[in-house]
Chains A and B, each alone.
Chain A
Amino acid sequence: MAIYHLDGKNFDEVTGSGRCVVDFWATWCGPCRMQAPILDEVDQAVDGRAKVCKVDVDAEPELAARFGVMSIPTLVYFQDGKITGKAVGVQSRSQVLAALGE
């Protein structure tokens, strides 16, 4: 599966169905850059059972504001469009998988 890159246009459509994790990140943030390969691993592990998504807060400040992102990386979890969890700071592969119910 591929990582979904979300913006104001496709955010609700992609997160509206199934299980998702959305990573709010930016290029200037070291912990965010470290989160990226971990999410690649998660994407491999879930094998389509959940969507792994990213929002660049620099390009999408409205989405960051909408979800109260005050520190990055912030990971927000969704089930059929409803928020089921939120975590601030780099998360390990096992932490993300557990939050996705894997």
Chain B
Amino acid sequence: MTDIIIIGGGPAGISAALTAMHRGKSALIISSAPEDSPLWRAEHIDNYPGVPGATGRELLTALTEHARRSGAGFMRGHALSVMPIGENFGVSVGPDFVEGRAVIIASGLARGKEFPGEREFMGHGVSCCATCDGMLYRGRRVAVIGLSADAPEEAEYLRSIGCLVEYFGPGRAKRYEIRGSERADTLVADGVEYPVDCVFVLRPGVAPDSLLPGLETEGGRIKTGPDMSTSVPGVFAAGDCTGAPYQVAKAAGEGNIAALAASKYIENKSKEETRDGDISS
């Protein structure tokens, strides 16, 4: 069991992990490929203190290295859902799941609009998880819309288990629509229809409101209090996912605040548990 699970390995997530470690808490960062981060492609960042003219890639590499050296755990993958389990939280990551006492969502901006039909048919011929649902489509035709850096690997996995994969990488089509009646049966890509049994939409991240039921958002941004707490006790948020300005300095600051609040949450909870223990004994 980790103390604080951090979803996202950008400046907010890394900053949160560093602060958590300083507070004596263990931290596990769940992060997709760094190439998925818009920061990775930033030509230079001139307003982050101490590293004038750094490229996004240099900054992200330095941040990651800092967290690694501080002893934070790293897990590569896409966090698909967060759920309270007893007094703690579970976070599912591809074929695995991890448990923590508090969660900090630092998943960045949910980029890219949903395609027509994507939400409507989710779970009914549309899937966001190749490892979860691939086996259900062995020997059947599936389309993969690869929007994340590791999507080609996931498509290869689907091929390896026997799915007949039609792959749509970046640039293959501009407009997608998923159609069907009871369930999805057709992917329309730039007006061309592909009959399929399932469409896998592999995005870099899951929209915050589908990550955790009951998480309050406004215009796609997670609503937070001054201590970066969210509408779900024990869950905090930091960085671009809480709204503008979309700046590294703001993300790092919020990561720091979120980790302090999450540490306090865990400490208070431990005190309560000790107290309850005393009463019952």
Contacts and interface: CB of A to CB of B under 8 A. Distances in A.
A and B form one complex: yes
Interface of A: 26, 28-34, 37-38, 41, 57-58, 64, 68-72, 74, 88-90, 92-93, 95
B260 to A, nearest CB: 27
A102 B7 CA distance: 33
A26 B135 contact: yes
B136 A88 contact: no
Given A37-B90, A38-B85, A92-B83, A29 B213 contact: no
A92 B84 CA distance: 7
Interface string B51-84: 0000000000000000000000000000011011
A95 B183 CA distance: 24
Contacts of B123: 70-71, 74, 88-89
B92 interface: yes
Given A32-B132, A41-B85, A41-B86, A88 B122 contact: yes
Given A34-B90, A88-B124, 7 more contacts: A28-B135, A29-B133, A30-B92, A31-B80, A31-B97, A37-B86, A90-B92
B231 interface: no
B120 to A, nearest CB: 12
Contact of B127 (A41, A64, A71): A71
10 contacts: A26-B132, A30-B94, A30-B132, A34-B81, A34-B90, A34-B92, A70-B183, A72-B133, A74-B123, A88-B122
Contacts of A33: 92, 95-97
A74 to B, nearest CB: 7
Contacts of A70: 123-125, 127, 133, 136, 183, 198
Contacts of A30: 80, 92-97, 129, 131-132
A29 B84 contact: no
Contacts of A93: 84
B118 to A, nearest CB: 13
A29 B93 CA distance: 9
A77 to B, nearest CB: 15
Given A70-B125, A72-B136, A28 B81 contact: no
Contacts of A57: 135-136
B92 A72 contact: no
B160 to A, nearest CB: 13
Interface string B117-159: 0000011110101011101100000000000000000000000
B81 A31 contact: yes
B136 A69 contact: yes
